[in-house]
């Protein structure tokens, strides 16, 4: 097996959306990983829809299709 081809595998801290933390091992290059969506906030697990607008995409969509009214 070739030497020095694998990334560093070390302990990191994962921070959930509600602020809880846990430690795990990963090849992620930082010391901590902050999640934007996790099982406590994702609609697939909670059953509650929540709008996450990344970069104003929803606003852009609403502006573009504002003239189309549902009848």
Q: What is the pLDDT of residues 40-56, one digit of tens each?
A: 777 777 777 666 666 67
The answer to whether residue 19 is domain-embedded is yes
Q: Starting at the edge strand that comes first in sequence, how are the strands of the sheet with 21-26 ordered? A: 21-26, 10-15, 32-34
Whether the predicted pLDDT of 10 surpasses 90: yes
The answer to whether residue 58 is domain-embedded is yes
CA 29, distance to chain mean position in Å, is: 17
* pTM as predicted: 0.53
The answer to whether residue 38 is domain-embedded is yes
- What is the pLDDT, as a whole number, of residue 53? 64
Contact 31, 14 (CB under 8 A): no
- The count of structural domains within the chain is 1
Q: Residue 14: CB partners within 8 Å, gap ≥ 6?
A: 21, 22, 23, 24, 32, 33, 35
The answer to whether residue 1 is domain-embedded is no
- What is the pLDDT, as a whole number, of residue 50? 63
Structure tokens at 40: 């406590």
Domain extent for 47: 10-64
């Amino acid at each position: 097996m070739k030497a020095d081809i694998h990334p560093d595998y070390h302990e990191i801290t994962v921070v959930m959306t509600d602020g809880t933390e846990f430690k795990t091992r990963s090849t992620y290059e930082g010391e901590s990983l902050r999640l934007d969506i996790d099982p406590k906030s994702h609609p697939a697990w909670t059953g509650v829809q929540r709008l996450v607008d990344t970069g104003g995409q929803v606003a852009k969509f609403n502006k573009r299709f504002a003239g189309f009214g549902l009848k």
